[in-house]
Chains A and B, each alone.
Chain A
């Protein structure tokens, strides 16, 4: 069996109903399901490093560009990647912005946001910082704004749990290492564990490498959806054959192309003003 590959545009069926539900515009028909699309929610793509999370996210964005008119925002992507790394057919549809602009960018156009490696911007250890408290409030109303958030992470334990509290969540599971699985959030560990079992089973005798990249599993708790669905990963030809080596690297590791100041701001937060030494009054000097 060879891994399926498509020439743009991707077939509508290349995304499972659970993912279509959140990527399509509200009210659109979902292939393989009776109900109309919700058009808003959170899709979390989970997997160990180099398991193909970001390439799968690009596949989803390619699908959004082909089958909807929704704008796409690649959060905190370096300008250079946006200008030099993206394929031509994405131009005019994709922009970048800071996550704290989510409520104002493309207002009324129901954008799809990609937060690559969400643990960098929304780490669970920074959950009470003012920006993440604001994000938590925003999560409560993303359905009102018609936003779909697509994020990738190596572990849901590393991501602020506010992502999972308010709205429809579909988790897409790729290969996860055993140590990663042991450190996963208690409320997700069994689902992720079962997804790993399905991935190993479906990859038996098939290509996919150590990272079991040929398939992924969707986990959904929504009524009327399959709780677990095995989906073959369909490669966009442009991502593997249409880009030069530098572009491919930019797409694969966009954060590697950030300026040091930018990446420092994400990891350490904005530079803090050190309190200056209080000025001495003239009178004190004179006395």
Chain B
């Protein structure tokens, strides 16, 4: 790992730690979504609309915003965002 990428990781960690102190952190759609997602939420709430189809519409706007952010990142970062099962550490069986 280069010095720069190591520093970037450190800055990311510092930023994440500071963000998390804002009254327990901000919602995912605020941190990683777009303004359109916020406006849509306010409008739908003001109109009193609820239901699965409304949730899906909001999720679509959030995911589009997230995909837009990820487009600017290298393939490794994008790949790392995919949920995966946590692997246990593999330990050599010494036979004792």
Please measure, in the bound complex, the distance between the C-alpha atom of A4 and the C-alpha atom of B90, giving whole angstroms: 17
Please measure, in the bound complex, the distance between the C-alpha atom of A57 and the C-alpha atom of B82, giving whole angstroms: 42
Please measure, in the bound complex, the distance between the C-alpha atom of A32 and the C-alpha atom of B93, giving whole angstroms: 10
Minimum Cβ distance to chain A for residue B89 (Å): 5
Minimum Cβ distance to chain B for residue A280 (Å): 64
| One of A32, A190, A202, A234 near B96 (C-beta < 8 A) | A234
Minimum Cβ distance to chain B for residue A176 (Å): 17
Which residues of B sit under 8 angstroms from A230, Cβ to Cβ? 89-92
Which residues of A sit under 8 angstroms from B94, Cβ to Cβ? 4, 11, 13-14, 231-232, 234
B1 lies within 8 A of chain A by Cβ: yes
Please measure, in the bound complex, the distance between the C-alpha atom of A75 and the C-alpha atom of B1, giving whole angstroms: 37
A201 lies within 8 A of chain B by Cβ: yes
B24 lies within 8 A of chain A by Cβ: no
Minimum Cβ distance to chain B for residue A235 (Å): 9
**Contact flags B76-96 to A (C-beta < 8 A → 1, else 0):** 000000000000011111111
Minimum Cβ distance to chain A for residue B74 (Å): 19
A6 lies within 8 A of chain B by Cβ: yes
Which residues of A sit under 8 angstroms from B96, Cβ to Cβ? 4-6, 11, 14, 232, 234
**Contact flags A1-15 to B (C-beta < 8 A → 1, else 0):** 000111000011110
A190 contacts B1, C-beta separation under 8 Å: yes
Interface size on A, as a range, is 10 to 19
A232 contacts B91, C-beta separation under 8 Å: yes
Please measure, in the bound complex, the distance between the C-alpha atom of A114 and the C-alpha atom of B18, giving whole angstroms: 51
| One of B1, B91, B93, B95 near A202 (C-beta < 8 A) | B91
Please measure, in the bound complex, the distance between the C-alpha atom of A198 and the C-alpha atom of B94, giving whole angstroms: 18
A229 contacts B92, C-beta separation under 8 Å: yes
| One of A14, A215, A229 near B95 (C-beta < 8 A) | A14
| One of B89, B92, B93, B95 near A198 (C-beta < 8 A) | B89
A13 contacts B89, C-beta separation under 8 Å: no
Minimum Cβ distance to chain B for residue A59 (Å): 11
Which residues of A sit under 8 angstroms from B93, Cβ to Cβ? 13
Which residues of B sit under 8 angstroms from A99, Cβ to Cβ? none
Please measure, in the bound complex, the distance between the C-alpha atom of A80 and the C-alpha atom of B96, giving whole angstroms: 33
Please measure, in the bound complex, the distance between the C-alpha atom of A20 and the C-alpha atom of B96, giving whole angstroms: 17
Please measure, in the bound complex, the distance between the C-alpha atom of A198 and the C-alpha atom of B89, giving whole angstroms: 8
A71 lies within 8 A of chain B by Cβ: no
Please measure, in the bound complex, the distance between the C-alpha atom of A13 and the C-alpha atom of B96, giving whole angstroms: 9
Question: Which residues on B are within 8 Å of A, measured CB to CB?
Answer: 1, 89-96
Closest 7 CB pairs of A and B: A13-B95, A4-B96, A11-B95, A231-B92, A14-B94, A230-B91, A16-B92
- 16 of the cross-chain contacts (CB-CB < 8 Å) are A6-B96, A11-B94, A11-B96, A13-B94, A13-B95, A14-B95, A190-B1, A198-B89, A202-B91, A229-B90, A230-B91, A230-B92, A231-B91, A232-B94, A232-B96, A234-B94
